[in-house]
Structures are given as C-alpha cells and as structure tokens.
Amino acid sequence: MVQASIGTRVPRLDGREKAMGASQYLADLKLPGMTQVRFVKSPLAHARIKSIDTSAAEALPGVAGVVTHADVPDTRVGEVVMDQRLFAKEKVRYVGDIVAAVAAEDLETAKRAVELVQVEYEELPAVVSAEQAMDPGTPVLHEEYPSYEVIPPAADAHKMMTDHNLCWKGMVKKGDPDKGFDEADEIIEDTFDIPAVQGSPIETHGVVAAPSQGGGGVTIWTSTQVPFGVREVTAHGLHIPISKVRVIAPTVGGGFGSKCQVWVEPMVAALALKSNRPVRYVMTREEEFEITQPRHPMTIHVRSGVKNTGEIVARQIRIIMNTGHSVMLAPIMVSLVTNAAGAPYNIPNLLIETVAVFTNLPSFSLVRGPGGPQAAFAVESHTDRLADVIGMDRLEMRMKNCVNPGDLGPTGQELGGVGLKEGLQKVKESIGWADDRPEGRGVGVAVGWYATLIGMGSSATIKMNEDSTVSLITGFVDHGTGNVHGGLPIFISNELGIDVDKINISSGDTETGPWDYGTVGSRSTYNHVRAVGAAIEELKREIRKRGAGMLEADPDEVEFEEGKVFVRSAPDKAIPLGLLCATAGKPGSQGPMMASGSFNGPPWPPGPDVEVALAIPSFGQPAFVAQAAEVEVDQETGNVKVLKIASACDAGFAINPIGVEGQIEGGTIQSLGMGLTEQMFFDDKGHLLNPSFLDYKVPLAPDIPEFDTIVVESQSDQGAMGTKGIGEAPVVATAAAIASAVSAATGATFDRIPLTPEYVLSRIEEAAATV
Amino acid sequence: MVKELFRPAGKEEAVALLTEHQGKAKVLAGGTDLVVLLRAGKVTPEIVVSLNRIDELRSLSFNPDDGLRIGALVTHSELIENDDVRARYPVLVETGKTIAGPPVRNAASVAGNLCHAAPSADFAPPFLALDASVVLFGPGGERTVPLNEFFLGPNQTALAGDEILTEIRVPTPTEGSGANYQKLGIRSAMEIAMVGVAASMTVNNETCSMVRVALGAVAPTPFLVKSAAAAVEGNAPSAEVFARAGEAAAAESKPIDDIRASGTYRRKMVAVLTRRALAQASSR
Amino acid sequence: MKGEAGMECTLNVNGRTHTLLVRPDETLLDALRDRLHLTGTKEGCGEGDCGACTLQVDGRAVNACLLLAADAEGRDIRTVEGLVQDGDLNPVQEAFVDSGGIQCGFCIPGMIMSADALLRSNPDPSDQEIQEALAGNLCRCTGYIKIFQSVRAAAEAMAGSK
C-alpha cells in the first residue's frame, strides 16, 4: 500500500482482518470463568410489580448470581432525564422491561433460572398509541415525571413538560405563518403515519463485564457506539467512581444509532460485581427486536400555502412522536426531527411543532438520521400534492423552492455549501425524468437534508513509533461507518507522509483513548479529522524539534516525507522518522513521540428573527440528498418493483470516496426498506408480533435495483477540508422518492409507508373509485 | 431437552427407533425447520432421529414409466439443479427458487417442506397440481398416499408417529401439459407466501384437460380446488375461462388475517394468481 | 454456550479432523464457535434468516445454525478461516477488501462463503445470478452495491489468474 492522498480510494484498514473472520466482535470474547446472562423480562406492557422472588433461581445449581433492583443503588439513570431504573422496581412499562438478570455457568441453566424467578404483577391498562397517550383518560406512565432529576441545560425545559404523558416538546417559528397562508393561492393539508422500524444491525447487542482486579471497579466490553456514555451512565447507576469504570468497544458489527443508547450495560455490570465473576450477555435476535430502541413511529400533519407560480409561502408542521416508555434521547430527537422537517426548502413563513409522548412500547430513540425519513416522507409526499394541485412538474417544484447557498435554515442558521440543486439535476438525468414510460411505470424524486450534530467534543492521541509507524489512539468507535478505519488513515498518511499500512489504530477504549462523545449524528469525520489534525500539528512540532537535535539543524529547516526526516538543504542525508524515537543504546532517548489534540465545534447559534425552543438549537452544515426512483407497479396485486434508484448526496468533500459511496448506498437501501417492506407490528397489548428477520423484512440482495451513486461536493465552509457528515442524509429521502414514483405510476397517493402490495392496491382501488 | 441424537444407517432402523420412542421422537433431515424449533423450545423431543446416513433416501431419479422419484433427503438445490427436473418439471424449479435463500435450499429437503406441513409450504401446491403422492414407510412396511390426502391441518400430516416419508412420486407429464406456480410475497427471497397458486393442465386441440389448481397459504392446509379446475376442464384456454376459474378458487379459499396480509386481500389475490397460473400453464 | 456435552463426534473442518463432545441438539455453529474457537462464523439470528453463519458443507453454502454438529459427521466443512492459505486471503476475500464490500464486517464471513461457493460452481455469474446467490445473506451496511462489485471483481481476478 502506498501513501494516500486526500480524495483517493483506499480500502478500509480493518477490512483484511474482517474478511478473514479474525476480527473480535463482542460475542467472540471469552474470559476465564465467564458466566452467561439472561434477563427476566416483563410479559406485560404496563403493570405494577407486587413482588419478586428470586430464591428458587438462586438455589438452582449452576446459577452464579441473580440481580434485581434490590441489588443496585436506589437511583434512576438517563442521559438527559434520569427516568430509568436499572431494573424495574415500582412498575414495568413495556413488554420486555427488565426485572432481573441471572448469570449461570451455561445458557441453558440461565434460561431455566429465568423461569424460576417469580414476579407478581398487577396489570394496568396498556397505552400503545400516541393518540391514546394524550387522552387524559388513560393512565399516566411516569407519575413522578416532574420530580425526576434532569441534566442542568434541560432543566428549565423539563419543567414545561406537564401535559398528560408528555415526554418532551419543541418548536421553531420563522416569519409569520398566518400572513403567509393569507398570501397563498392554494392551501393543502395532509396527515401521514409512519410506523416503527428497526436499525437492525446484523450483530445484536452484547455486553461482557468483569470485576476489576483488586475490586472496586468494573471493565465492560460492549457493542456500542458510545463507550464514554456507557462509562458515565454505569458509574452513575452503580455509584462507582467514573475512573473505576473502563469501557471497551471491540469490533462493532453495525449500529445505525441503535447502539448509542445505554441501558443494559449497567445491569450486566451489576451482575458481574454481585457474582464477582466475568459475565456475558449476547442478545438474541428476538430480543434485539423487542427491547432495543427502534425508530420513532410518527404522525405528521403538514399544511402549506402555495402560489400558483409554485412558490411555497407558508408551511405549518405538527409532529407527534410515540416515544415509548422512556425518555432516553427524546429531547435531542425532538430537536433533530424539527430541524429535519424544515428541510430543505426556503419557506419564509414556517412553524414546526413537535411533541413526544410516552407509551407502553419499547423506548424509541435515535436511529440513523433520526426523524429524517419520517419527516421527508410526509413533507415530500405533501410537496408532490402541492405540485399536482397547481399543475407543476414535481421535480420543478423542488428546483423552485429548494434552498440555495446563503439561505437560512429553519432555525435561522445560514447555509454554506449547498449541493442540492446539482444533485437534483444529476438524479433527474440519471433516472430519465422526462422519458416516456409504459403503463404501470413511474418515476419519483424526493429531497432532504441531515445536519451534523455539533457541540460535542473529540480528542485523539498520535504516536510515532520506533519503526516509523504511527499509532492513532483514541476513544472513537468505528462500528462500520469508516470514520476511523476509512477516512482517518488517508488524512494521517497525507499529513505525515507515511504509507497507509504504517498506521495502527487503537480505538474505543475509555481508559487508553482520549474522550469522544461517540459515533453518532454524522459528527465523526467532521470532529475526528479536526481532533487528529490538532494532534498531528503537535506531533510535527516534536518531529522538527527532535529532528533538529539529531540532524544538528534549526527546527525550521527540518522537513519530513515518505517516512524520513531531513534538513531542507541536505535531503540526501535523510534518516527514518523512527530513529527519532529509538531507545536502544541511546542514553537520554525519549522513546516514541506522542501528541494529543482535541476539537469541539464552535457554537453556531440560531439566527435572528426566529423563535427556537429546542434542546439543541444549533446544527452543523447539513448534507443534502436528492434521490429519484423508477418503479413498476403490478396494478392487480399492488406489488411494487423498484427498477432503478439514483441517489445523490452532497458530502461537501469526500476524503475517501469508497467510504462516502458506501454510506450513500447503505443508507439509501435502508430507506428503500422503510418505503417498501419494513415495519414493526404491535398489538393493542404492546406485544411485538414480528420479532424476526423472516417477518421484519429488511431488503435482500435480489431486491436491489439498478443503482446510481452520485457524490456531490459542495465544499462546506465548516467541516475540515470542506467535509460534511454524511452518515445519515442518505437514509432520508428514498422512501419518499419511491412513494412518489408509485404515485406517478398509479395515480394514487399514499399517506403511510411501507407500500406493501395490499396497501398499494387499496389506494389504487380508492383512486379508481373517486375518478 | 434432547437426550440423544440417533443416526441410523437404514430406514428400518429409523422406524424401529421411532416405534421404541413413539411420541418422544422427532425426525431430522435437512434440519432447517426442526433445528429452529428445537432451539426455540417449540418442540421438545427426547430423541432426534436423523435420516442423513440413510443413503438410499438421497436418490433422485426419473424414467418415463415411473415418473419422478424424489428421495426424502433430496435438497431443494439438488431438485432445482437436476436435468430431468429442469426439462420435464420446470414448475418445480421455479417454485424451488422462490423458497428461502441458497444456504437454506442447500440444506432443506423437499420432503421436509411437505412434512412440516405449513399452510404456506411452497412445494405443496405444485406437487398437488402435478398429482404427486408420497411413500410412507413404517413398521408394517410401505404405503403410498396421494398428496391431497397427506395434509391434515397446520403442521399435521397423515404420517404416523412411527413412520417416515421416504419418497415423493410425481407422474410423468403428458404430452401438451404445462404447469405454473404463482407466489405473492413482499421481497424477492426469504418469503413466506401470502398466497401461492399452482395450476397444471394439458392442452390438446385447443381444449384444456386434466386441469388441476392448488392453493397455498389461504386455508389450514394446501389444497386442490376442484371447482376451479372444473371451470377450465373441457374448455378452450381463454382469459375469460381462467378468470372464471380464479373466481371459483377465491370463493373456496378460507384465508386468515395476519401481519402478512388480510384475508380479504388474500382472497382477491387467489383470483388474480389463479388466472395467471392457468394462463401460464396453458401456454407451455 | 457449551452446557452438558454427551455425544462424541468427529468433524472435518478446514481439512483437519477434530473429535469433540457435543450436546445432541448442539448446532454446528455453536460447536465451531465455542468448542473449536472458530469464531469467524457469526451468529446473527440463529434461525436461518440472516446468513451470517454461512459456511460451506461439501462445497455448498449452508447455515451453520441449522445443522446439528453431531449430524455433520463425515461432511467436508469449510469456514471463512479455511479460505486463508499461508496468511494470504483468497481472491474473494481480497476483492471484498479492495472493492469496499466491507463496512461493519459482521455479515462478511457468511457473505464471502456464499460468494466463494457461487464462483466455484459458476466462475462467470451474471448480475442476477450474483444477487440470487446472496439472497440468504443479509447486509445492513452496504446496500449490497459494493458487495456485488466485489463478487464481480473476484470473478475477474480468478479468470485472469487462470
């Protein structure tokens, strides 16, 4: 492998060991004396716990320990609002709520022990829909919600969450919507429903925990995107000093946001501490579906005023999120979906209000592009209707109203690089927008954005080794996204003039790696490049300093490239960089050179003349997507076949095009799943009816249409080298584009996804009946 | 919990084991259904009898006199790839390709698809339409059961607790015959049929004869729809005739509502798919 | 994990013979991972729905979670570890690395085993044949696009080296 320059296609550094089956994922870890963990889970969605008897389980031979709320501090944990018991105490609030954990010598014994734990419940009515939750006649899920502890920045807002079963709310208002509607020629109003869907990483969640040697602490290996978050919540929940909790993310097999919540780790750690043994918990696929945090189901009302010329002059959006039983990251989620729903139009008069309500379903939380696909399906389907009503081409409607560089986003932030219209133009050409098509075929387009999460820090250490290799040591996690193994090696190689295969990476360990907020919110490349860049600047100074000493020159005269250091006037007398670190036989040698750096995005406050009531009021520059689909619809069965997708994403700048394309392709296909096949079915008692890959249908290889991956590079004025975070934007608009294409092919309109054959046929028949 | 796994080398030995452990044993061939059920605790046999060492059950043969004979261990993939099957029973190849994905098809036995007796078993409708029968072997020897008498209910068959299915027999197709399977699912693979319809017929001198229509996933068992076949029998193939047969099939289907589809939709699709299957079968 | 093991069985894995004790209902997947420490074969669902545990038995791709270990006696079992010769990746593995077919990597051993089985029986597959051959292997990261490209690249590399 050679020295890589920025923008070249370099395979990810960990690809080789992954292809060999040699990478160590969580389930591959084995510790001596390790026991197996199973949870005792509530079969009811809502119930009071009258008693818990673990004696029979504890007496079973082979059981190493049983833990309930009685074994952990009487406290609540959370990342914003402290609302979660580690183990359910007073009540259970969803099917699967964890009441106890059992560790045993083997899985079979653990399963038997789980059956021996006696829990007596008093069943309460289950609240499963948002509509039910907001009805004052239904039970309150969190009776003591106002008294829960809250992190200080959110405390004032939390005091306002007093409505029945209200978890969180937020809003933005720009211009004068009432006045805008008065100016409109047509006013259209629609309501859309989007079901819960799952991130569904192929690796399920898992945790291994072991008591620290010497006692008093715990080491946790976990399949997580946020090791430092795990450390913090575990320390808080178990009343252990944070420095005594070490969290290590091994190779992580996908997350899509589902691994950025912290809840099982402290429970498993409690069991390790109580049994004083290493313990291992690996979720079954069924549990992955039942107890992890899926994407929010939402009902979205959209009302717009449009001029006959196509200009959208006013828009009002109300989003109701079913947030499940717990707060988790709902305050952040409300901010994200509110911002996403304002995308990506320049509408002078805009009001977006979002509420999240508690129900007795699993906690819904952040899944790749949180709120983005839901909002885009609603806003884009509605925008199609606007175009149809005034007789304008649907794509032209976007061209007319989409944001341009310098426009203001919904929170009044000025947009820098905007590669949206370029993307639209490219997908228009790729999909053959204006081509004649046979009956039953149609094309659709949808646009959207997703903003980088800013305001949380990242740090990294760079080490130059004796053999002229470089080690990156950091708390970053790369759960497949390529932020660490795909993009950073090119950057480091380019900056230090060393080959990519001379770079070693040690990541995801809270003890050895400097702090990072986590691989979430499309923030990683944006932040990590800056943090690593700062460390590299420091390292370069040290190289020059040591090089000057060894080469007997002025530091300003010292240069280095291709792994060698030399004096500018005498490049022929270059020595390997590693010699600066060599220790053997060198009295006074300082060993490897190390340098650290950090970055935290500058605050980028909301603009003037907007009202913003959000937990996160400011976002990084969004990445834009324009996605188009061509479909063929079987008019008798309603079956939709996607023939082609063109997916354009404005990445600002692509450091490693392989990685950027991979994000676009993977995100787009997840959205295709949302559009056509994926949904979680809950019954009215809160039971999930399809907890398997057989009935929860993620797209398969033969479902993939012809695909055109289009990278647009608008050069963000914010991210390092013009980059934008693009982990999430590609997932935003494809479901909407497919719905639009099916609408074009059939003449029907759609107010929910997925477009199952049965639903499509019913809408075709309704459309035919109204003609 | 399974106490023992037996791997007998002959079918007599297998049957002896089943007789000895009657009611406490399960038979294993490809394993793609049984192993999942075992793991989930949905079946709890004391012993499992694997047929995988009984080599005679691997045979797959065709000759014009006996027709097609599919041994109990023949996998979906082996059936799909067999030259005789490809040449004379293309409907079985088309059907097989709609089932699960290659790793499952490489292990799953065709016989197991029938013995598991899911209402949606994909192979059931085409075998019914091809007038297949199954050979059951027990302590008293062999008996041959027409497939349309084999399915008794969801996961229930005419197999006695001490019997194994040793062979599927399919008659040689007559001159001018054709068959087709129509499956409605959501994805392109790994799909349980929402509705499955198979049709077969012989067309000579513009007249349809020996018409058979079989439905899957719309009743407790896969079944032959006589009224649909009768609507076509003796007529010239036409869209109108096939549509009438489709309506007849829909009327006889008894689909349920579940998360995969509503009963109403399924019934409507029976009409559409029956019409399509008949049209395809007639044009072969 | 392990549990009580009562049955002796002899497995031929990656060209080596192993005699081990297993539970009668123990899957080949569990035996390989827990007893032979061949953890390259992954468990994604345990129900035959995801393909993460795909390996080759007698040259065909199958789900290790659907086979009983003791019933796999006498068969030629190959896992992803068995594709590596003297530390070198085989052409399929190589192509997945170079073409960007790998992101999180969890589905990749199974995906590679299916792709390798395809190319052994069909060295020049069409796009549709590639898609159908991988129908039992879920990937959630790549959208499959670069996986298809990887298989094509592997086919070309294998054709070129002959």
User: Is A701 close to C39, i.e. CB distance below 8 A?
Assistant: no
Question: Tokens 């954005």 correspond to what residue?
Answer: A449
> Which residues in A lie closer than 8 A to residue C139 (C-beta atoms)?
202, 701
A266 upstream amide cis, omega within 30 of 0: no
pLDDT at A67 over 80: yes
Of residues B87, B85, B91, B51, the one with CA closest to residue B70: B85
Over residues C93-125, the pLDDT tens digits come to 999 999 999 999 999 999 999 999 999 999 999
Question: How many Cβ atoms sit within 10 Å of the Cβ of residue C28?
Answer: 31
User: Which pLDDT belongs to residue C1?
Assistant: 46
User: Which pLDDT belongs to residue A583?
Assistant: 67
Whether A696 contacts A673, CB under 8 Å: no
Instruction: Kindly state whether B186 is in contact with chain A, defined as any CB-CB distance less than 8 angstroms.
Output: yes
Indicate the average pLDDT of chain B. Answer: 97
List strands edge to edge, sheet with A706-712.
A441-451, A622-633, A640-650, A706-712
Strands A458-464, A470-474: pairing kind: antiparallel
Instruction: Kindly state whether C131 is in contact with chain A, defined as any CB-CB distance less than 8 angstroms.
Output: yes
pLDDT at A584 over 80: no
A545-554: long-range pairs with CB below 8 Å, 24+: A546/A580, A546/A590, A546/A593, A547/A580, A550/A575, A550/A579, A550/A580, A551/A575
What number is the average pLDDT over the span A489-493? 94
Torsion angle, alpha carbons of B81, B82, B83, B86, to 10? -70
Please state, in angstroms and rounded to a whole number, the distance separating the CA atoms of residues A224 and B244: 58
Question: Tokens 């309506």 correspond to what residue?
Answer: B247
Which residues does chain B have with pLDDT short of 70?
none
User: Is A703 close to B188, i.e. CB distance below 8 A?
Assistant: yes
Residue type, B60: L
**DSSP code, position C35:** I
> Which residues in A lie closer than 8 A to residue B97 (C-beta atoms)?
none
> Which residues in A lie closer than 8 A to residue C98 (C-beta atoms)?
11
Residues 73-112 of C with CB under 8 A from B: 73-74, 110
pLDDT at A212 over 60: yes
Question: How many Cβ atoms sit within 10 Å of the Cβ of residue A143?
Answer: 10
Question: How many Cβ atoms sit within 10 Å of the Cβ of residue A307?
Answer: 14
Please state, in angstroms and rounded to a whole number, the distance separating the CA atoms of residues A479 and A55: 40
pLDDT at A113 over 80: yes
pTM for the predicted model, two decimal places: 0.97
List % helix, strand, coil for chain A (3-state, nearest 5). Answer: 30, 25, 40
Of residues A262, A260, A257, A246, the one with CA closest to residue A213: A246
3-state SS assignment for residue A619:
coil
User: Is B36 close to C48, i.e. CB distance below 8 A?
Assistant: yes
pLDDT at A373 over 90: yes
User: Which pLDDT belongs to residue A714?
Assistant: 93
| pLDDT band, very low/low/confident/very high, at A590 (cuts 50, 70, 90) | confident
**DSSP code, position A325:** T
Between B53 and A717, the more confident residue is: B53
How far is residue A626 from each of residues A332, A749, B176, B262, C89, measured CA to CA in Å? 25, 20, 53, 35, 38
Indicate the average pLDDT of chain C. Answer: 95
CA of B98: which chain A residue's CA is closest?
A702
How far is residue B138 from each of residues A15, B28, B111, B162, measured CA to CA in Å? 54, 16, 16, 6
User: Which pLDDT belongs to residue C4?
Assistant: 57
3-state SS assignment for residue A16:
helix
Question: How many Cβ atoms sit within 10 Å of the Cβ of residue B131?
Answer: 18
Give the gap in angstroms from C-alpha A22 to the nearest C-alpha of chain C: 6
Give the gap in angstroms from C-alpha C66 to the nearest C-alpha of chain B: 5
Over residues B125-164, the pLDDT tens digits come to 999 999 999 999 999 999 999 999 999 999 999 999 999 9
Please state, in angstroms and rounded to a whole number, the distance separating the CA atoms of residues B214 and B124: 8
Pick from A677, A689, A701: CB nearest B186:
A677
Q: Kindly list the partner chains of chain A, i.e. chains with 3 or more CB atom pairs below 8 Å.
A: B, C
Give the gap in angstroms from C-alpha B243 to the nearest C-alpha of chain C: 32
| pLDDT band, very low/low/confident/very high, at A2 (cuts 50, 70, 90) | low
User: Is B100 close to C132, i.e. CB distance below 8 A?
Assistant: no
A584, two tokens: 């053997």
Question: How many Cβ atoms sit within 10 Å of the Cβ of residue B139?
Answer: 12
> Which residues in A lie closer than 8 A to residue B261 (C-beta atoms)?
756-758
Please state, in angstroms and rounded to a whole number, the distance separating the CA atoms of residues A360 and A685: 9
Pick from A15, A284, A702: CB nearest C97:
A15
User: Which pLDDT belongs to residue A1?
Assistant: 45
What number is the average pLDDT over the span C152-162? 92
Torsion angle, alpha carbons of A656, A660, A666, A671, to 10? 170
Over residues B187-200, the pLDDT tens digits come to 989 999 999 999 99
List % helix, strand, coil for chain C (3-state, nearest 5). Answer: 40, 20, 45
Torsion angle, alpha carbons of C89, C90, C94, C95, to 10? -170
Please state, in angstroms and rounded to a whole number, the distance separating the CA atoms of residues B188 and A641: 10
What number is the average pLDDT over the span A92-120? 97
User: Which pLDDT belongs to residue A718?
Assistant: 81
> Which residues in B lie closer than 8 A to residue A635 (C-beta atoms)?
none
Instruction: Kindly state whether C60 is in contact with chain B, defined as any CB-CB distance less than 8 angstroms.
Output: yes
Mutate to test the interface with C, among B106, B113, B116, B188 (most CBs of C within 10 A): B106
DSSP string, A425-454: HHHHHHHTTT----TTEEEEEEEEEEEPP-
Residue type, A572: D
Pick from B4, B28, B190: CB nearest C135:
B190
3-state SS assignment for residue A503:
strand
Q: Which of A421-435, A513-527, A628-642, C31-45 has the lowest mean pLDDT?
A: A513-527
pLDDT at C17 over 60: yes
Indicate the average pLDDT of chain A. Answer: 95
Q: Which residues contact A487 (CB under 8 A, 6 or more apart)?
A: A525, A528, A529, A655, A656, A659
Pick from C1, C33, C97: CB nearest A107:
C1
Please state, in angstroms and rounded to a whole number, the distance separating the CA atoms of residues C3 and B36: 18
What number is the average pLDDT over the span A359-388? 97
3-state SS assignment for residue A494:
helix
| pLDDT band, very low/low/confident/very high, at A237 (cuts 50, 70, 90) | very high
Pick from C46, C66, C135: CB nearest B188:
C135
> Which residues in A lie closer than 8 A to residue B273 (C-beta atoms)?
637
User: Which pLDDT belongs to residue A414?
Assistant: 87
User: Which pLDDT belongs to residue A585?
Assistant: 61
| pLDDT band, very low/low/confident/very high, at A633 (cuts 50, 70, 90) | very high
Question: Tokens 């055109």 correspond to what residue?
Answer: A708
ipTM above 0.90, yes or no: yes
pLDDT at A359 over 70: yes
Q: Which of A169-178, A385-394, A546-555, B214-223 has the lowest mean pLDDT?
A: A546-555
What number is the average pLDDT over the span A45-57? 98
Strands A186-194, A206-211: pairing kind: unpaired
Residue type, A337: V
Pick from A694, A756, A757: CB nearest B190:
A694
Chain centroid to CA B50: how far? Answer: 21
Instruction: Kindly state whether B187 is in contact with chain A, defined as any CB-CB distance less than 8 angstroms.
Output: yes
User: Is A702 close to B186, i.e. CB distance below 8 A?
Assistant: no
CA of B39: which chain A residue's CA is closest?
A108
- SS3 sequence, A199-219? CCCCCCCEEEEEECCCCCCEE
Over residues A270-326, the pLDDT tens digits come to 999 999 999 999 999 999 999 999 999 999 999 999 999 999 999 999 999 999 999
Question: How many Cβ atoms sit within 10 Å of the Cβ of residue C19?
Answer: 8
pLDDT at A589 over 90: no
Residues 73-112 of C with CB under 8 A from A: 79-81, 83-84, 89, 93-94, 96-98, 100, 102-109, 112
- Please state whether C48 falls in left (phi above 0), alpha (psi between -120 and 50) or beta: left
pLDDT at A701 over 80: yes
Question: Tokens 């073409």 correspond to what residue?
Answer: C99
User: Is C71 close to B28, i.e. CB distance below 8 A?
Assistant: yes
Whether C70 contacts C116, CB under 8 Å: no
Mutate to test the interface with A, among B38, B42, B187, B272 (most CBs of A within 10 A): B187
> Which residues in A lie closer than 8 A to residue B1 (C-beta atoms)?
108
Helices marked H in chain B — which ranges?
Answer: 11-20, 34-39, 76-81, 83-88, 90-97, 102-105, 110-116, 124-129, 226-232, 239-252, 263-282
